[in-house]
Amino acid sequence: MKTASLEHIAEDLFQAEKNVRTLPQFAPNFPDFDEDKAYDVQELLIEKKCREEETTVSGWKLGLTSKAKQQMMGVHEPSYGVLLKNMSLDEGRTHAIDGFIHGKLEPELAFVFKEDVRGDYITAAQIIKATAYVLPAFEVIDSRFEAFKFTLLDAVADNSSSCRYILGNQILPPEAVDMRLTGIVFRKNGEVVATSTLAAVMGNPASAIAWMANKIAKRGQFIQKGQVVLSGAITQAIHIEPGDHFSASFDGFGTINASFKTGE
């Protein structure tokens, strides 16, 4: 597959997001498309977004870290994507959904790093040691593919369905948090829509981040001091409609809130 077609795919994904419209899946039409090429497209897309949107990288996100989501997709590995500064929204505010194609919201535990994490044999303990603090977060995911349907390779190229992220403000040192048993209650308009614990994320969200650190090392990349990493959805993602209010209570931390509306 030629570099030109990888650039073409990145351009189509960029335009789809910009114009709030969907694309058909492309991976099934390229028999030699593989994981490396999918991450190549992701990299081209991120370079393009940084250039055209005048933004910079703020961190990373994991996708498909829960068994339920992996089984849904028929895969045994998570995926990752890149977070940009202009994807960040303020906590507790009401946000316009007009830029989303079919956005969904999911609660996640975010890690903020106080040291670089470099290497290809990183453990969950090293992730915890390099973390300044952890905090509740929401991720808005959105897919540039029709009906939110895609193969793993399509989704990787599409920056693992990233769209926006919202960091809470209740921070804790990672050693103070039970990375498996911390309970989460996710509510939409006051109704409980899902409950879970952090163990839903590969047994322990720090393990999910260790997996990513080792994976990005293969492409010469590493987690940098100051970066934020979203460790993956703790519950199912819920479709966002205008007028919706969401909250997620994290045991020991507090509650994170977000509301959505149509634009002015």
Question: Quick one: which H or E segment has residue 189?
Answer: none
CB of 161 to ligand OOG, least distance (A): 4
Q: Which of 139, 142, 154, 158 binds Mg ion (CB under 5 A)?
A: 139
Amino acid (1-letter code) at residue 58: S
Q: Does 155 bind ligand OOG (CB under 6 A)?
A: yes
Tell me which stretch binds Mg ion (CB under 5 A): 3-11, 20-28, 117-125, 133-141.
133-141
Q: Cα separation of 203 and 138, whole Å?
A: 20
Strand partners for 216 = none
Q: Using CB positions, name the residue nearest to ligand OOG.
A: 63
CB 148 to ligand OOG: min, Å: 8
List 86's β-bridge partners, or say none.
none
Closest by Cα among 89, 100, 94 to 148: 100
Please give the residues from 214 up to 233 whose contact with ligand OOG meets the rule CB under 6 A. 232-233
β-bridge partners, 249: 185, 255
From Mg ion, ligand OOG, none, which one binds at residue 207 (CB under 5 to 8 Å depending on kind)?
none
Tokens of 71: 């089984």
Measured from the CB of residue 234, what is the shortest distance to Mg ion in angstroms? 9
Answer for which of 64, 163, 212, 216 binds ligand OOG (CB under 6 A) is 64
Q: What is the DSSP string of 106-132?
A: EEEEEEEESS-B--SS--HHHHHHHEE
Residues engaged in binding ligand OOG (CB under 6 A) = 63-65, 69, 79, 106, 139, 141, 155, 160-161, 232-233
Which residues of this protein are in contact with Mg ion, per CB under 5 A? 139, 233
